[in-house]
Amino acid sequence: MTPSPAPAGSTRVLVAFASRHGGTRQIAATIASALRSVAPAGSRGMSTVLAPVELWPDPTRFDAVVLGSAVYGGRWLDQAVRWTEAWALALRGTAPGCSPAGWPRPPLSSLRRPPTSSG
Ligand SMILES: Cc1cc2nc3c(=O)[nH]c(=O)nc-3n(C[C@H](O)[C@H](O)[C@H](O)COP(=O)(O)O)c2cc1C
């Protein structure tokens, strides 16, 4: 997947999501829109690309990644786990993000475990 060109100097953020019924997609779209409106004084702001993980977005083209998955039965959707595992090395080099569900990006080893209330 090739994102649209970002304005020169802006921070490029990928908002990737896995959704079954559209709820997570809506949350991801809201986050992408909010990030686009962030423009600290003197900065060129952020350009965001909203992409379902099924389209296999390439995180190496971005400065930061926000990833969110719907959770069913305590598990991320399979496609979110597959995408994260496939891009693990690249994701280690990005700024930390958080999932729309609200917990910090977990270590890969915990992706199949239910999220806990403490994080
Ligand atoms: C059968 C079923 C099981 C679910 N299991 C969990 C769960 O274990 N943990 C959780 O936080 N949410 C759980 N949810 C809630 C969904 O993750 C939540 O509604 C999510 O926003 C759905 O996202 P989607 O519309 O993008 O598919 C469950 C929902 C359903 C219908």
The domains found in the chain, sorted by start residue, are 11-100 (3.40.50.360)
Query: Is there a contact between 105 and 96 (Cβ–Cβ < 8 Å)?
Result: yes
| CA pair distance 11, 36, nearest whole angstrom | 10
Q: Nearest Cα to 57, choosing from 92, 86, 34, 77?
A: 86
Please say if the pLDDT value at position 95 is more than 70: no
| CA pair distance 32, 27, nearest whole angstrom | 9
Q: What is the mean pLDDT of residues 70-81?
A: 96
Q: Nearest Cα to 51, choosing from 64, 67, 35?
A: 67
Ligand 1, CB within 6 Å, residue ranges: 19-25, 70-74
Please say if the pLDDT value at position 4 is more than 70: no
Query: Is there a contact between 94 and 13 (Cβ–Cβ < 8 Å)?
Result: no
- The pLDDT value given to residue 112: 40
For ligand 1, the distance from its centroid to the CA atom of residue 11, given in whole angstroms, is 31
Q: What is the mean pLDDT of residues 75-84?
A: 95
Q: How confident is the model at residue 78 (pLDDT cuts 50, 70, 90)?
A: very high
Strands (E), 1-119: 11-18, 46-52, 64-69, 71-72, 75-76
Looking at ligand 1, which atom is closest to the CA of residue 24?
26
pTM of the model: 0.75
Atom 22 in ligand 1: residue holding the nearest Cα: 70
Long-range (24+ apart) CB contacts under 8 A made by 27-33 are 27/68, 27/100, 27/101, 28/66, 28/68, 28/100, 31/66, 31/68, 31/100, 32/66
For ligand 1, the distance from its centroid to the CA atom of residue 75, given in whole angstroms, is 9
- The pLDDT value given to residue 103: 39
Residue range 9-67, pLDDT digits in tens: 788 999 999 999 999 999 999 999 999 888 766 777 889 999 999 999 999 999 889 99
- The pLDDT value given to residue 8: 62
- The pLDDT value given to residue 6: 52
Q: What is the mean pLDDT of residues 3-14?
A: 70
